[in-house]
């Protein structure tokens, strides 16, 4: 145990070197910088903004609409004069939106004839605030249209409810999950669950990838620095050497992933309060449908993730043995990245359950796939799939660990290498 901790501490110290610490600090600074830019843009979009208005009509309706714009949080800068001149004036000023109410607007609108409001957006970039302004103006025009059409219908058919006339069919939505049923929209529930869990695949990918790359690098560096031979002759079992490398890489990989995720979360401001607010109304529906994760569910997910990490580490150790130096180690980590990308993108953009059987088998044959789909399966009560994944990964890990320890116990740890020219593995 003393020898193992001696080796483990050395592994952690070797991996957590100055270069890694600098790159982690750089990631934090970079994300902080991106975050501050994003937040300032969001702030700009949320703050009261100036809108130029040219009211050539000056009717009650146009004045009311301008008042509504003011109520919607805009600072109105009223312009007078000819339209073309005003457009030029606004273009040259710092403003980026002009709303023009044409002459006769009020009269045409109140007599229920087609009428046009012109909006001019002055694009100076791809900022969020420019987009939100036009969206607010469009919403105001829509509600004015709604108001005017209601008035028209009231005038023409006084006894009828205009709302009923415009939308006689109402839709009551229900969602059914297995035996449970709740009133609500499926798209809303899917949207809420996606918002709640979207960060999970990113975290999974980071943890697995960082740890695996750490192992490959650790072994490759032993070879590059010519320290492996000496290490293999010290009185400690080969299994302990493998375990220390894997555990050390896990610790440093987890730490790197946590720092990366912290920076990522800060930068893109996915604060808990925002998510909680968005989910607030839907939480009772999710509970009613059983779409919440119990403690047992989290434990099951934890087991799935742990076994997947072991798979990645064992596979990375094997690849590390093939590496001759740091450069080849980087190239050898590519198959791992590729295998991770498949379940990552499928979990983001597709549903594994609706895929064809051969495609499904191919995806699930990748041991890294299982935790990506475990949360969804736990939520929807497909526990058999989760247990099958755990069993498959357990077997995969057992075989890989046995093979890795065997390789470390024999000459192969020194003689096994990838021959790039002949593309052949010498075992």
Partner 1 sequence: MAAVLEVEGLKKRYGSLEALKGVSFKVEEGEIFGLIGPNGAGKTTTLRIIATLLTPTDGRATFLGYDLKKNPEKFREKISYLPEEAGAYRNMRGIDYLNFMARFYARNEAEAKEFVERAVAICGLGERLKDKAGTYSKGMIRKLLLARALMTRPALAILDEPTSGLDVINSLEVREMIKGFTKEGVSVLLSSHNMLEVEFLSDRVALIDQGVILDSGSPAALKEKYQAPNLEIVFRRALQ
Six token digits for residue 69: 């714009």
Nearer to partner 1, 227 or 292 (CB): 227
Nearer to partner 1, 7 or 109 (CB): 7
Q: At its nearest, how many Å lie between partner 1 and the CB of residue 410?
A: 6
Residue 232's Cα: distance from chain center in Å?
43
CA distances from 376 to 112, 170, 379 (A): 52, 32, 5
Q: At its nearest, how many Å lie between partner 1 and the CB of residue 332?
A: 21
CA distances from 8 to 222, 244, 279, 308 (A): 14, 5, 43, 21
Q: What angle do CA 290, 190, 288 make, to 5 degrees?
A: 20
Binding site for partner 1 (CB under 8 A): 2-3, 6, 10, 13-14, 17-18, 225-227, 229-230, 232-237, 410-411, 414-415
Nearest CA to 314 among 362, 363, 367?
A: 367
Q: 78 phi and psi, to 5 degrees?
A: -80, 135
Q: At its nearest, how many Å lie between partner 1 and the CB of residue 321?
A: 14
Q: At its nearest, how many Å lie between partner 1 and the CB of residue 422?
A: 14
Q: In whole angstroms, give the CA distance from residue 136 to residue 118.
A: 14
Q: At its nearest, how many Å lie between partner 1 and the CB of residue 230?
A: 6
Q: At its nearest, how many Å lie between partner 1 and the CB of residue 404?
A: 17
Q: At its nearest, how many Å lie between partner 1 and the CB of residue 411?
A: 5
Nearer to partner 1, 216 or 285 (CB): 216
Nearest CA to 31 among 250, 270, 275?
A: 270
State the CB neighbour count (10 A cutoff) for residue 420: 10
Nearer to partner 1, 331 or 414 (CB): 414
Nearer to partner 1, 6 or 296 (CB): 6
Nearer to partner 1, 76 or 236 (CB): 236
Nearer to partner 1, 95 or 244 (CB): 244
Nearer to partner 1, 218 or 246 (CB): 218
Q: In whole angstroms, give the CA distance from residue 255 to residue 251.
A: 6
Q: At its nearest, how many Å lie between partner 1 and the CB of residue 23?
A: 15
Q: Which helix (H) or strand (E) holds 289?
A: helix 283-289
CA distances from 341 to 204, 254, 265, 388, 400 (A): 11, 19, 21, 21, 21
- Under DSSP, the state recorded for 354 is G
């Amino acid at each position: 145990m003393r020898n193992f901790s001696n080796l483990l501490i050395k592994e952690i110290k070797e991996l957590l070197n100055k270069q890694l610490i600098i790159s982690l600090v750089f990631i934090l600074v970079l994300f902080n910088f991106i975050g501050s830019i994003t937040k300032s843009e969001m702030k700009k979009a949320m703050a009261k903004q100036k809108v130029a208005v040219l009211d050539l009509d000056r009717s009650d309706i146009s004045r009311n609409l301008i008042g509504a714009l003011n109520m919607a949080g805009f600072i109105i800068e009223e312009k007078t004069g000819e339209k073309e001149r005003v457009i030029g004036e606004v273009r040259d000023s710092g403003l980026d939106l002009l709303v023009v109410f044409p002459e006769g607007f009020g009269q045409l609108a109140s007599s229920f004839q087609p009428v046009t409001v012109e909006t001019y957006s002055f694009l100076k970039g791809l900022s969020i605030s420019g987009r939100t302004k036009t969206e607010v103006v469009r919403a105001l025009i829509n509600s004015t249209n709604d108001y005017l059409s209601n008035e028209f219908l009231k005038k023409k058919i006084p006894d009828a409810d205009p709302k009923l006339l415009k939308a006689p069919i109402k839709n009551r939505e229900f969602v059914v999950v297995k035996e449970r049923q709740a009133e609500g929209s499926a798209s809303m529930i899917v949207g809420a669950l996606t918002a709640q869990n979207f960060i999970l695949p990113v975290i999974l990918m980071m943890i697995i990838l960082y740890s695996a790359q750490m192992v490959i690098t650790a072994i490759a560096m032993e070879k590059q620095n010519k320290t492996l031979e000496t290490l293999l002759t010290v009185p400690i079992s080969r299994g302990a050497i493998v375990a220390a490398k894997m555990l050390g890489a896990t610790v440093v990989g987890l730490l790197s992933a946590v720092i990366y995720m912290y920076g990522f979360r800060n930068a893109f401001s996915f604060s808990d309060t925002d998510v909680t607010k968005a989910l607030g109304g839907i939480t009772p529906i999710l509970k009613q449908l059983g779409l919440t994760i119990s403690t047992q569910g989290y434990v099951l997910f934890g087991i799935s993730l742990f076994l997947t990490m072991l798979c990645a580490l064992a596979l990375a150790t094997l690849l590390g043995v093939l590496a001759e130096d740091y450069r080849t180690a980087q190239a050898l980590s590519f198959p791992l990245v590729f295998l991770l990308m498949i379940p990552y993108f499928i979990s983001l953009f597709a549903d594994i359950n609706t895929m064809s059987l051969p495609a499904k088998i191919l995806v699930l044959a990748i041991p890294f796939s299982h935790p990506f789909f475990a949360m969804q399966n736990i939520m929807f009560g497909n526990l058999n799939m989760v247990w099958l994944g755990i069993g498959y990964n357990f077997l995969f890990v057992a075989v890989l660990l046995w093979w890795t320890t065997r390789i470390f116990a024999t000459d192969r740890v020194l003689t096994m290498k990838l021959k790039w020219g002949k593309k052949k593995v010498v075992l």
